Amino acid sequence: MLKKLDEFQIGETGLIKKVEGEGRLRRRLFDMGVTPGATVYLRKKAPLGDPLEVTIRGYELTLRKSEAALVLLEVEEKK
């Protein structure tokens, strides 16, 4: 089952299956490397729970929960 990125727990890793949304916002997500097939690791949340900080394609990216809700992932089992 797919899970939205904003529902992830800190420390969880997932594989992007789908990116929803439209227009410039979606384009920007793609350009920043948030594309299907990329692995995302949720590093932490800001002091007030939002925005999120993730590791993707080897760098740190921050995005809001509202944007993270557009990203659907398959949760990777913890080894």
Closest separation in Å from C-beta 31 to another protein: 4
Is residue 35 a contact residue for another protein (CB under 8 A)?
yes
What tokens appear for 37 in the block? 């097939």
Among 2, 11, 36, 74, binds another protein (CB under 8 A): 36
- Phi, psi (5° rounding) for residue 72? -105, 130
Cα 1 to Cα 58: distance, rounded to the nearest angstrom: 26
Q: Which stretch binds another protein (CB under 8 A): 1-9, 33-41, 71-79?
A: 33-41
Is there a contact between 63 and 52 (Cβ–Cβ < 8 Å)?
Answer: yes
The contact set with another protein (CB under 8 A) reads 19, 23-33, 35-38, 44-51, 53, 57-64, 66-67
